[in-house]
Structure 1
Amino acid sequence: MPRSSSANEEMRTQARQKILAAALQVFAEKGYHGATITEITQRAGVSRGLASYYFPNKHLLVEELLDAYLDGVAAIIDVPGGPDERLGGIIDGVLGGMMSNLPVQGVILSLVVQPSTHPIFAEVEARKDERLSLLEDSLRELFEQRGAEDPAVEEIMLRSVLEGVIYKAVVYGPQYPVEQVRRRLYRMYELAEPKTTLSGAEPGLAGRLRATDRGF
């Protein structure tokens, strides 16, 4: 019996997700230039022809990964509550997402900053301009409601701080004191102390950060 159109669509979606997940793994291990479509398809467990049908080259794979990343960034505006509750929810959402998938964050960061892939990021960002502008305007409105003198600068600072936290956590992994930094961010923005932790472990004193060769 032939498959229904919905079953076929689900299979196509699953195949694309397998390829994208495999691309993240191979990019993490070998970098953009060292990765090959052949290795990605082998890791995904799909045929080269199927992978080439969806993603004829690595450029399109990177484009899709960065597209999903920017969708995730834009989604942080979907936090309910008043200004303080929303700000706390945004901080927790970013840090919680970071902790749950640090290797992916590392790959995305490398794709964003590498000279060979940064232009792709710029293209994707330009396509997402409307949604990213909504994110920026929402954050600026939040800071305006909190009485900020320059809401635009506050929006830029918040994103810069959180992106810096992600970068450091990617570099130092489990050493990075996420809970302590989270509480410091709450105090910096004069939010009520969080009653729970993101990791389930109570924060202690932060130690020194030193890189290791652990990889991802």
Structure 2
Amino acid sequence: MPRSAVVNQELRERSRERILTAALEVFAAKGYEAASISEITAAAGVSRGLVSYYFATKEQLAAELLDRWLDGITGILTIEGTPDERLAGIIDGALLAAATTLPIQRLAITLMMQPTTHDVFARVEEAKAARVSLVEDAIRDVFAARGAADPAVEEMLLRATLEGVTVKLAIYRDTFPLEAVRRRLYAGYDLPAPASPLPFASPAVDRLRAK
């Protein structure tokens, strides 16, 4: 009995997800430039033809992963509450993402910064321009509601700070005191201290050292 269209669609989606998962693993292990489609094919356990069917080039794989990363950032649009509660939610959401989805965070930062792949990021960001602007405006609205003189600068500074934390966490994962940094961010914005710690271990160290 032939498979239904629904079953076929589910199988296609699973294959596509397996390829994307493998691509992220290979990019994280070897770097975008050094990674090859053959290695991604092997990691996914699928044929080269199937990879090419979904993604004609390695750049398309990276673009899809970046697209999802940008979609993840737009999660802040669902945060509700007072301006202070929303700011705390933005900080916590970014730190949780950094700690729990570090491979995609690292890939995004790498593609943004490397001269050979910056254009890939720029194209994906342009395609998502409307949603990115919504995120920027949501953060600016929070700062405006808190009485900031220049909400746009405050938004840029917060995002730069949180992205810097992600970079440091990627380099010093075993020694980065994320909870202490979180509490310092709260204090810097005159937010009430968090009622409970983030749900993962955070070392109490006073030196960043790679291990």
Q: Same fold (TM over 0.5)?
A: yes
Note the aligned Cα RMSD (angstroms).
Answer: 1.4
The 8 Å contact of residues 77 and 90 in structure 1, kept in 2 or not, is answered as no
Task: Report the counterpart of residue 143 of structure 1 in structure 2.
Answer: 143
Task: Report the counterpart of residue 27 of structure 2 in structure 1.
Answer: 27
The 8 Å contact of residues 183 and 194 in structure 2, kept in 1 or not, is answered as yes
The 8 Å contact of residues 171 and 210 in structure 2, kept in 1 or not, is answered as yes
Task: Report the counterpart of residue 17 of structure 2 in structure 1.
Answer: 17
Deviation of 1:208 (Å): 0.5
The 8 Å contact of residues 140 and 152 in structure 2, kept in 1 or not, is answered as yes
Q: In 1, distance between residues paired with 2:63 and 2:182?
A: 31
TM-score (structure 1 length as normaliser): 0.93
TM-score (structure 2 length as normaliser): 0.95
The percent of aligned pairs where both chains have the same amino acid is 53
3-state SS of paired residue (2:70)? helix
Match status 1:52 vs 2:13? no
Runs of at least 5 residues in structure 1 that lack an aligned partner in the other structure: none
Runs of 4+ more than 4 Å apart = none
Report how many residues are paired. Answer: 211
Deviation of 1:55 (Å): 0.6
Q: In 2, distance between residues paired with 1:6 and 1:83?
A: 44
Instruction: State how 1:58-73 maps to structure 2 within 5 Å.
Output: 58-73=58-73
Please, which moves more after superposition, 52-61 or 7-16? Answer: 7-16
The CA deviation string for residues 101-155 of structure 1, in whole angstroms up to 9 with x for no partner, is 2233222211221111110100011111111111111111111111111111111
Runs of at least 5 residues in structure 2 that lack an aligned partner in the other structure: none
Match status 1:209 vs 2:208? yes
Task: Report the counterpart of residue 163 of structure 2 in structure 1.
Answer: 163
3-state SS of paired residue (2:174)? helix
Match status 1:81 vs 2:78? no
Quick one: structure 1 residues 204 and 38, their matched pair in 2 at CA, closer, same or farther if it must change by over 3 Å? closer
The 8 Å contact of residues 180 and 206 in structure 1, kept in 2 or not, is answered as no
The 8 Å contact of residues 79 and 89 in structure 2, kept in 1 or not, is answered as yes
